[in-house]
Amino acid sequence: MTASQLAAPSPVQTGAHFDVHGLVRIEVAPGTPGAPQLVDMLSPFHRARRAEEACGIKVTGTTIPLDVPSHAEDAYRYSDDTLFLPRDRVTVTVTDEGFTVAGRGELLTAVIPLLDRLCVLNGAAMVHAAIVNYKGAGVLMPAWGGVGKTSTVAKLVRIEGVQFMADDWAFLRVDGTVLGYAKPMFIKAHHQPIYPQLFEGPRKPLVPKGLTKPLERASTMVHPVIVRYPRTAAFTRHWSPEHRMVHPEQAFGAENIASEAPTRVAMFLERHSGADAILEPRSAEWMTTRIVGNFHSELPGVSRSLIEALGATGLMPLERYFSEKADVVRRGLGGLPCHVLKLPASWSADRTSDHVTATVQALLNEWA
């Protein structure tokens, strides 16, 4: 770390502001312990704030106790506009602009579902997907974790004229435009044949490929506890032997990052027990259901618990939360041809990403 970096004020001291594709603005107040994680993970949207701009999500480390709250057993406390989750030590208040999130831990897990909700109200929906801009055509590849999204985007971006947009989270707008989210990528040992340049020179050691899955399961189990302690969580995020955190610009170059594209291919990726890859057509309604369910399923447990608590207390009714998101996704897909690509679970990330890349090219040739 350089002397200038050491002297620079931290986001905990200064706070931060983010503008997510003009859809939702997020303000992090000075003194918020979870600010460094938010700056890490929302870095593509980090902006200076203009005084006249309203913020849909305000994040603070200062929690105001609820006055005579109602109880939902021991799970949470709530009032007509505020929810407190004692286990996660997070308070969410519904405001005229959107939400206020307060807590002393890492608050990204609370911010993401609220960001998704406000995006939906503004005509876009968050998706769990890999996305590239293939020479002007947006390729939307929602998928379960571990299918090979990060490997696939590397293979696609090697093609001249193809740009990275997302390998995990992104956005689909009602007009059919995909919006990128070039957040940090988590590179693991099995990615070495695909991202060899990221393994050159002295680097943080990674566990062997055979230990990656057990370590992932252990990380998932301790995650709800770790996020309560920002310093510990930050150390784990940056120094865990499970992965390296790499910004897409480091992997692909800034010139190969795109922010939006009109969707031309929608293909759900999943693993199966068969010996061969299978491509099958699906309806837009099937894809809508899968995208909405997949995003929710892939959220951290803390995020899902927050959504359920907000729904149970009526602060964010579940029937509206899911139906309104489904409507945005359905409209975004429009008359787009949709497919599911089932990939053998026995295939390596390298073989899988080669096959997905070839399938994308074939589908785009059909569309053209």
List the CATH number of the domain containing 157. Answer: 3.40.50.300
Which of 104, 122, 140 terminates a domain? The answer is 122
Identify whether 322 is part of a domain: no
pLDDT on residue 10: 75
Pairing of strands 260-272, 137-142: parallel
pLDDT on residue 203: 54
pLDDT digits (tens, 9 = 90+) for 164-174: 999 999 999 99
Percent of the chain with pLDDT strictly greater than 90: 69
Count of the separate structural domains present in the chain? 2
On whether both 118 and 133 belong to a single domain, the answer is no
- The token pair at 256 is 């190969």
On whether both 75 and 131 belong to a single domain, the answer is no
On whether both 78 and 23 belong to a single domain, the answer is yes
- Helices 230-239, 209-226: inter-axial angle, 10-degree rounding: 170
On whether both 84 and 101 belong to a single domain, the answer is yes
On whether both 273 and 358 belong to a single domain, the answer is yes
Regarding predicted confidence, which is higher, 229 or 356? 356
Of 2-6, 88-92, 337-341, the poorest mean pLDDT is in 2-6
Q: What is the mean pLDDT of the chain?
A: 87
- The confidence band for 194, taking pLDDT boundaries of 50, 70 and 90, is confident
Regarding predicted confidence, which is higher, 223 or 194? 194
On whether both 14 and 25 belong to a single domain, the answer is yes
Identify whether 209 is part of a domain: no
Identify whether 156 is part of a domain: yes
Confidence check: pLDDT of 368 > 60: yes
pLDDT digits (tens, 9 = 90+) for 235-257: 555 545 455 778 899 889 999 99
On whether both 114 and 83 belong to a single domain, the answer is yes
Which of 122, 150, 168 terminates a domain? The answer is 122
Span 294-314, average pLDDT: 96
Domain span holding position 19: 3-122
Identify whether 229 is part of a domain: no
On whether both 47 and 69 belong to a single domain, the answer is yes
On whether both 62 and 147 belong to a single domain, the answer is no
On whether both 92 and 169 belong to a single domain, the answer is no
Residue 312: exposed, middle, or buried by beta-carbon count in 10 A (0-12, 13-18, 19+)?
A: middle
Confidence check: pLDDT of 1 > 50: no
Confidence check: pLDDT of 25 > 70: yes
CB 305 within 8 A of CB 85: yes
Which of 122, 141, 163 terminates a domain? The answer is 122
The whole-angstrom separation of Cα 76 and Cα 124 is 30
pLDDT on residue 135: 97
Identify whether 208 is part of a domain: no
Identify whether 285 is part of a domain: yes
On whether both 259 and 356 belong to a single domain, the answer is yes
Identify whether 118 is part of a domain: yes
Identify whether 128 is part of a domain: yes
Contacts 24+ apart (CB under 8 A), 90-97: 90/302, 90/306, 91/63, 91/64, 91/66, 92/306, 92/310, 92/315, 94/315, 94/316, 95/58, 97/54, 97/55, 97/56, 97/58
pLDDT digits (tens, 9 = 90+) for 327-353: 999 999 998 999 999 999 999 989 999
DSSP-assigned states of every residue in 278-311 = EEEEE-HHHHHHHHHHHHHHHS-HHHHHHHHHHH
Span 35-62, average pLDDT: 90
- The confidence band for 222, taking pLDDT boundaries of 50, 70 and 90, is very low
On whether both 10 and 114 belong to a single domain, the answer is yes
